[in-house]
Structure 1
Amino acid sequence: MSLHTRDTNLDLIKWLAMLTMLLDHLRYVWPDTEWLFIVGRLAFPLFCLGIAANVARSQSGALYTEDNVRYLGWMAAFAVISELPYRLLSSDSSTINVMPSLLLGLLIAWGAHHRGRDGFVLALAGAAVAVLIQERLMYGVFGTLLPAALLLAIQRPGLVWLLPAALCVMANSRNRWLAEWELQPFTLLIVAVAFAAPLLGLLLLRRPGHFKIWPVKRWGYWFYPGHLAALHLIRSLG
């Protein structure tokens, strides 16, 4: 499929990623909805799947293209733009916003897809940065490897699908609920949803047929900082 051909399955995945992220963050405004954190475990792997699907649709070896430059530019810009609203909503967070994790994941996925010296250097650089800022990186090093693992799962359906599922669990392993609650029902649900999220996304991506859905274009970049700022405003007014 051409990079410029809309994939309605991919648009559906993006919508689900944004919706589950929004539901997850409602707990910052209404603390009694902490259980929505479980639903939110779907968001990050679905965003990673969106990255993997976009990389998979590009021609292998064609790394230095205008599309890739724009893609990288938008990701980098919103990694910066999103930090202030993220910090306002989650001032006690020990990590930076999620966009740098996705950005590094994109670099590593590009390295896996566009093989050769340049691809290897790109992936190595992305992984090295992830290791260096591991403590400040949302979902840590495992999270940055998830887009590349999902790319491999797209290209080789089957048991390989278990790789992103396992990585997703490990990416969530630093979460305070897992550390503090140990093997309680709540934490078991977190692990189960984290494991299932990449599998669900891959199934949706492969589903046959077409349907009408509002496409998620570049306005989708604004959803992340925009919803963070809106929730901060709602909490402030409350």
Structure 2
Amino acid sequence: MHGTHTLPVGPVRDGALDLLKWLALLSMVLDHLRYVGLSLDGLYVPGRLAFPWFCLAIAANVHRVRYVPVTGHWRYLGWLLLFSVISEVPYRLFIEDADTLNVLPTLVLGLLVARGWQQKALFDRGLALLALSIAGAFATHLMFGFFGVLLPVAMLLVFSRPWYFSVLPGLVCVAANQWQILLNSGTPVALLGLATCLIAPWVGLVLLRHAKNVSPPAMRRWAYALYPLHFLLLLLIRQIIA
């Protein structure tokens, strides 16, 4: 892994980035399969890849921001906000004892923080500060909490640095995943989950840097709908099993 090289993100379609998004989606579905009524607790471990890889995808999009018209930035944010609202009902129908919002509000705030770091314009910095303030005030209502909001910018910081800098977002990812509870439980699944959180950013960076020749189906705007739809599909499966 060549630490001094920047990621292969640019104006052309990035197959490695699409692959990362598909793998993040797959790991999220595997994680949520634990709630369909079967004994699938072990899926918690691959499920820990989903959030850091979605954050890495956001960071990759912010990293190539200089190639994108300004309207593209707001469109990206707008779609995330829209599906944050749309997804809340399917999320709560499926996760009946949910004590946080769905994951998209965390990603929205994380995007604003990462853009503020990258853009440096006063307006963007102001939005980033507002996002951090909201994250601090409402951390208990956000999935992955305050550290979850920091994860995209932590990913952004290591893009052009040697691979071992990925320990920084790895530690942020651990902090976002209730590490005290996992450590105290001491079960193999919990400890493997913690280890997965720690290495997930590094694995994602390796994938982005080296999977240059892959060409999976492009994940375009329709993919936002997969988030609320997968809750409804898994809810249907749970009803059938029950």
Amino acid corresponding to residue 99 of structure 2 in structure 1: S
1:78-157 alignment, distance < 5 Å: 78-157=83-162
Q: Is 2:81 aligned against 1:76?
A: yes
CA–CA distance in 2 between the matches of 1:112 and 1:219? 28
1:1-238 alignment, distance < 5 Å: 4-59=11-66, 65-173=70-178, 178=182, 181-207=184-210, 209-238=212-241
Tell me the CA shift for residue 22 of structure 1. 0.5
Is the Cα contact below 8 Å between 1:2 and 1:58 reproduced in 2? no
Tell me the CA shift for residue 37 of structure 1. 1.0
Change in Cα spacing, 1:86 to 1:195, as seen in structure 2 (3 Å) is same
CA–CA distance in 2 between the matches of 1:93 and 1:2? 36
Is the Cα contact below 8 Å between 2:167 and 2:199 reproduced in 1? no
CA–CA distance in 2 between the matches of 1:33 and 1:120? 43
What CA deviation, in whole Å up to 9, does each residue of 1:53-78 have, x standing for no partner?
00001119x8x811011111100000
Structure 1 residue ranges, 4+ long, deviating more than 6 angstroms after superposition: none
Amino acid corresponding to residue 150 of structure 2 in structure 1: L
Tell me the CA shift for residue 2 of structure 1. 6.9
CA–CA distance in 2 between the matches of 1:23 and 1:40? 6
Tell me the CA shift for residue 212 of structure 1. 2.5
CA–CA distance in 1 between the matches of 2:112 and 2:212? 31
**Secondary structure of the structure 1 residue equivalent to 2:66:** coil
**Secondary structure of the structure 2 residue equivalent to 1:66:** helix
Q: Normalised by the size of structure 2, how large is the TM-score?
A: 0.91
Instruction: Count residues with an aligned counterpart.
Output: 234
Please report the RMSD computed on the Cα atoms of aligned residues, expressed in angstroms: 1.9
| The 10-residue stretch of structure 1 (84-93 or 114-123) with the greater mean CA deviation from structure 2 | 114-123
CA–CA distance in 1 between the matches of 2:212 and 2:97? 45
For structure 1, the residue ranges without an aligned partner over 5 or more in a row are: none
Amino acid corresponding to residue 194 of structure 1 in structure 2: C
Change in Cα spacing, 1:67 to 1:3, as seen in structure 2 (3 Å) is farther
What CA deviation, in whole Å up to 9, does each residue of 1:137-176 have, x standing for no partner?
000000010000101111333443211011000000268x
Identity across matched positions, percent: 45
| The 10-residue stretch of structure 1 (116-125 or 187-196) with the greater mean CA deviation from structure 2 | 116-125
CA–CA distance in 1 between the matches of 2:211 and 2:39? 39
Tell me the CA shift for residue 87 of structure 1. 0.1
CA–CA distance in 2 between the matches of 1:69 and 1:12? 24
For structure 2, the residue ranges without an aligned partner over 5 or more in a row are: 1-7
Amino acid corresponding to residue 117 of structure 1 in structure 2: L
Amino acid corresponding to residue 238 of structure 2 in structure 1: R
Change in Cα spacing, 1:11 to 1:2, as seen in structure 2 (3 Å) is closer
CA–CA distance in 2 between the matches of 1:134 and 1:31? 31
Change in Cα spacing, 1:59 to 1:90, as seen in structure 2 (3 Å) is same
Q: Normalised by the size of structure 1, how large is the TM-score?
A: 0.92
Amino acid corresponding to residue 54 of structure 1 in structure 2: N
Tell me the CA shift for residue 93 of structure 1. 1.2
